[in-house]
Amino acid sequence: MEFSWIGTAIAAAVLLPNLVLAVLPPRIGTLPQPSVNVVFTALERAGQLGCLVLLVFVAGSYSQPLWGILVALCIATYWSLWLRYIVTRNVRVLFAPLWRLPIPMAVFPVLTFALAAVWAGSPWIGLAAAVLAVGHLTVSWKSWQALNA
């Protein structure tokens, strides 16, 4: 294991915008607390921890610039979705579709981590991203459903 500046930057770029909720809580609506099987919540937490720790401590090759561009595009899209929330401060915006893509604020972090795994050449980060996908997308989908119930 070796410290990775690129991996740390990716992890921070995905994690830090979540602090917006602490500073700017929703003015419209409240965050849903959906009933989700504990397995999915555990997978979500394990995937989050795995992605963040492995990105920071697995020095990948990061040699193909195309993958870096795709990671940057996913992060930029994710940040723009956070900006959409900041402008409205409506909890529904956190789960609202982007064009035809459902729960994009769950999809783009997972996609970012998956692409970072390819860019780094790390099957371990890829495995953590897959675990995160199962948990995070399920929990987010259930949250979206709870908001629309």
pLDDT for res 125: 98
Phi, psi of 17 (to 5 degrees): -60, -25
**Is the pLDDT confidence value at 69 over 90?**
yes
10-47 pLDDT tens trace: 999 999 999 999 999 999 999 999 999 999 999 999 99
CA 85 to each of CA 90, 95, 105, 111, 117: distance values in angstroms, whole numbers, following the listed order: 6, 10, 10, 20, 28
- The mean per-residue pLDDT over the stretch 72-98 comes to 97
pTM recorded for the entire structure: 0.96
Whole-number percent of the chain with pLDDT over 90: 95
